[in-house]
Structure 1
Amino acid sequence: MTANTAHPAPAPPPGRPPALEARHLVKDFRGFRATNDVTLGIEEGEIHAIIGPNGAGKTTLFHLLSGFLTPTSGEVRLFGERIDTLPPHAVVRRGLSRSFQISSVFPSMTVRENVLVALQSPTRLPGQFWSRLSTLDALAPRAEEILADVGLEGAHARLAADLSHGEKRQLEIGISLTQDPRVLLLDEPTSGMGTEGIARVTGLVERVARGRTVVLVEHNMGVVAQLAHRITVLQYGAVLASGRYDDVRRDPRVIEAYLGEEAHA
């Protein structure tokens, strides 16, 4: 298993802050410390994977990075601007979008309608309940572009409820792209998929990463090896190791904590 060598890690722009940065993040839940002094910097244009065993704090870290949780202490910065005090919608407006491990599509709406609803959010349309549906026509070309980008151009009229698990993941990524994010967070994008679905979504992540920064939580180490320029390993809410895949996979602490025999494959 080899690391992503087709696209080497981008060099940090001189004098520019990281695209996304966590500084000494701590999150406590009634005496339980879910993240413990997490510090990491993710450079612009990088695909960065966050891995670790169940309960390592990966989802909590994603919630902190995207504004769905407020840290007990520490900071989150997006292109140098502190965002951990902002609500999620304000974080999105500043250029960070995310997907969720649990499907978040509207099942009773069509694929196209799901994307159109998401495209409305930065406009004045959500507050104009009296507007005709034809008002959305101006957003239709962008919706079709996004569906083509995520490989669902032939599914725009299907109900989201009728999509396969992999197709729902494609739609969720498409919904995340409606805000034209500079940084995209993907939570377990290939979870529960077979070989064909994993290959399709992995290729999709490679495409959407062009021109933006991607951070993903992922259990499938084959996907991590193919996509990630760098990885961060969490254990018990703290950073155990961080760096290039080939370096981290040989770290004895990582082998013992998570990778096991797979690291020698």
Structure 2
Amino acid sequence: MTTPHPAPTPGAPPALEARNLVKDFRGFRATNDVTLGIREGEIHAIIGPNGAGKTTLFNLLSGFLTPTSGEVRLFGERIDTLAPHAVVRRGLSRSFQISSVFPTMTVRDNVLVALQSPTRLPGQFWSRLSALDALGERADRILADVGLGSAHARLAADLSHGEKRQLEIGISLTQEPRVLLLDEPTSGMGSEGIARVTGLVRQVAQGRTVVLVEHNMSVVAELADRITVLQYGAVLASGAYDDVRRDPRVIEAYLGDEAQL
């Protein structure tokens, strides 16, 4: 398990905070009065059985869904009324459970496209291609950081599943987020890919806050400072990994098998 980060400065707002979040879909309550505070600089895992509301919560935190009631705050600023791109501008980026790269573009071009988004280049279709040169150094640095420097000229479609995850994290880093949300970063990977992405998550967490949804409890145990357990859309337990894994309610939620935790 990772060494917990220092306690936050007294009086400082959480890096990311959910207050009494409710999301209803035609009578079905996907999240039910979810309240949690994620400290600046920590790695915080959100776990729970299938259908617990984890992805819905991620979509609420990142602006892809508007809550039925409740609010989301980023460093004290309310963001649940903002569009996703405005949330990104405030310092929060995310990856998705399903791969979201451009398969017919090169690895480097995927990163370059993301780097353009906060600039004027996307709206200036008449600009020379050389206008991208200024972004090239940053793209190369990001690819090196996520372990894809030597793969810059490959098509994204030709990457392995694990490499696509690395690229998605790199794309998220183009926006220089203070808070990074990762949805199932090791899903579908073998042991080698899991080890590589786990190391990458630990690396990118230096100097920022990371929140991840993850089913692999070995990954959670290795990375997370704290965890929140969801069940039926509500918070079942929250705290340090060793404390939460011994909670009888959490053990029962995982079919009574403490070994899963």
Q: 1:120-139, aligned counterparts within 5 Å? A: 120-139=116-135
Q: 1:260 Cα deviation (Å)?
A: 3.6
Distance apart, 1:11 and its partner CA: 0.8
Distance change in 2, residues 1:77/1:259 (3 Å): farther
Percent identical: 89
Q: Please name the residue that 1:171 is paired with.
A: 167
Partner of residue 64, structure 1: 60
Q: Does 1:93 align with 2:89?
A: yes
Displaced runs of 4 or more, over 6 A: none
Aligned length: 261
**Cα distance, 1:264 vs structure 2:** 7.5
Is 1:249–1:259's contact at 8 Å kept on the other side of the alignment?
A: no
Rounded Cα–Cα distance in structure 1 between residues aligned with 2:120 and 2:242 = 48
1:28, 1:35 within 8 Å by CA — same for their partners in 2?
yes
One-letter code aligned to 1:62: F
**1:218 aligned onto 2:214:** yes
Identify unmatched segments of 5+ residues in structure 1: none
Aligned counterpart, 2:15: 19
**Partner of residue 151, structure 1:** 147
Instruction: Judge conservation of contact 1:234–1:241 (CA < 8 Å) in 2.
Output: yes
Compute the TM-score of the two structures, normalised by the length of structure 2: 0.98
Deviation at 1:259, TM superposition (A): 6.5
- Aligned residue in 2 for 1:255: 251
Question: CA deviation digits over 1:45-101, x for unaligned, max 9?
Answer: 010000000000000000000000000000000000000000000000000000000
Alpha-carbon distance between aligned partners in 2 of 1:212 and 1:187, rounded to the nearest angstrom: 17
Q: Which residue of 2 aligns with 1:230?
A: 226
**8 Å Cα contact 2:92-2:178 kept in structure 1:** yes
Specify which of 196, 201, 208 is matched with residue 204 of structure 2: 208
Residue in structure 1 matched with residue 107 of structure 2 by the alignment:
111
Residue 46 (structure 1) aligned with residue 45 (structure 2): no
Rounded Cα–Cα distance in structure 1 between residues aligned with 2:248 and 2:152: 48
Q: RMSD in angstroms over aligned alpha carbons? A: 1.0
Deviation readout 1:90-144 (Å, 9 max, x if unpaired): 0000000000000000000000000000000010001011112211010000000
Q: Flag structure 2 segments of 5+ consecutive residues without an equivalent.
A: none
State the SS of the aligned residue for 2:31: strand
1:187 paired residue number:
183
Displacement of 1:262 after TM fit?
4.1
Contact persistence 1:27–1:36 (CA under 8 A) = yes
Query: Residue type of the partner of 1:210?
Result: Q
Give the distance between the partners of 2:194 and 2:24, measured in 1 at CA: 34
SS at match of 1:247: helix
Aligned partners of 1:243 and 1:145: how far apart in 2?
A: 35
**Cα distance in 2 for residues equivalent to 1:239 and 1:67:** 20
- Structure 1 residue 8: Cα displacement: 1.7
